[in-house]
């Protein structure tokens, strides 16, 4: 199937999941996870109607920006961001989804202040408290957002989470539900510089479950572009 056909199929499944849970499909955005896909593939995805493009790697972001690959779609950064590369991302993307630690938050604030802008971000939560994953712990979030008035060049737009891989269907529901409840709690408190209108959760294998628990944005790579080729570009030797 072509990229356009894949996106049409995903849209149909998104709509079915939304309707099954009493939601308006228009309230859920499709973010194309464009890692390891070239500029032409990104352009095809945008032409087929994805709502935004999410890049995982700073080097790829920089390269595709130089090729004007994202024309016509908002750009999000969704991968792990090193503090020494913050200058290459702040002001270049519409949303940084992967703010996963205080040092990174502070670096983004500093760079956004230097540029004289307000950078939209999501706080990434390590919902399963897995050692192999980055992200804030669930219990860290409310104390953190209460302090956001100290970061005037950052606006928290919501939360991002990747639940643990679950062996049994439905085991991921509790993780999605916890994130959804947290978003409601944050909204009720009306903190400065915080507007939780984005709940980014759900990927190729679990986005229907995420939609059932209030996700407003799903991040899809493989189901749009096909399996990624992780083989080395140049043979060893």
124 inside domain? yes
pLDDT given for residue 234 in this prediction: 45
Give CA torsion, residues 157, 153, 137, 183, to 10 deg: -20
CATH code, 82: 3.20.20.10
Assigned domain for 237 exists: no
187 part of a folded domain: yes
Count Cα neighbours of 89 within 13 Å in the Cβ-side half-sphere: 33
Listed in sequence order, the DSSP H helices in 116-194 are 141-145, 173-189
Q: Of 66, 124, 110, 129, which Cα lies nearest the Cα of 92?
A: 66
The answer to the question of residue 233 being in a domain is no
What is the pTM for the complete model shown?
A: 0.94
pLDDT at residue number 233 = 45
> Domain residues for 147?
3-224
Q: How many domains does the chain contain in total? A: 1
Q: Give a yes or no: residue 231 inside a domain.
A: no
How far apart CA 124 and CA 231 sit, in angstroms, is 29
Flag residues of the chain having pLDDT under 70.
229-237
Distance CA 64, CA 97 (A): 18
Alpha helices in 21-171 (DSSP H): 39-47, 58-66, 102-115, 141-145
The confidence score (pLDDT) of residue 231 equals 54
Residue pLDDT, tens place only, 132-168: 888 999 999 999 999 999 999 999 999 999 888 877 7
Please check whether residue 236 lies inside any domain of the structure: no
* 216 in a structural domain: yes
């Amino acid at each position: 199937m072509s990229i356009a056909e894949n996106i049409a199929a995903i849209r149909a499944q998104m709509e079915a999941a939304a309707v099954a849970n009493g939601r308006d499909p228009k309230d859920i955005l499709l973010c194309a996870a464009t890692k390891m896909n070239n500029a032409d593939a990104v352009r095809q995805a945008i032409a087929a109607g994805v709502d935004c493009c999410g890049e995982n790697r700073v080097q790829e972001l920089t390269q595709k920006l130089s090729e004007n690959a994202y024309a016509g779609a908002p750009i999000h950064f969704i991968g792990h961001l090193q503090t020494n590369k913050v200058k290459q991302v702040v002001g270049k993307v519409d949303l940084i989804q992967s703010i996963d630690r205080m040092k990174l938050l502070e670096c983004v604030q500093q760079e956004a202040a230097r540029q004289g802008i307000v950078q939209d971000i999501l706080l990434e939560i390590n919902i399963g408290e897995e050692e192999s994953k980055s992200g804030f712990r669930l219990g860290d979030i409310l104390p953190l957002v209460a302090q956001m008035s100290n970061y005037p060049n950052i606006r928290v737009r919501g939360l991002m989470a990747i639940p643990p891989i679950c062996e049994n269907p439905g085991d991921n529901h509790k993780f999605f539900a916890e994130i959804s409840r947290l978003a409601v709690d944050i909204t009720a408190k009306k903190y400065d510089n915080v507007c939780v209108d984005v709940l980014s959760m759900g990927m190729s294998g679990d986005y229907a479950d995420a939609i059932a628990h209030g996700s407003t944005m799903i991040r899809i790579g493989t189901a749009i572009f096909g399996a990624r080729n992780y083989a080395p570009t140049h043979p060893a030797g």
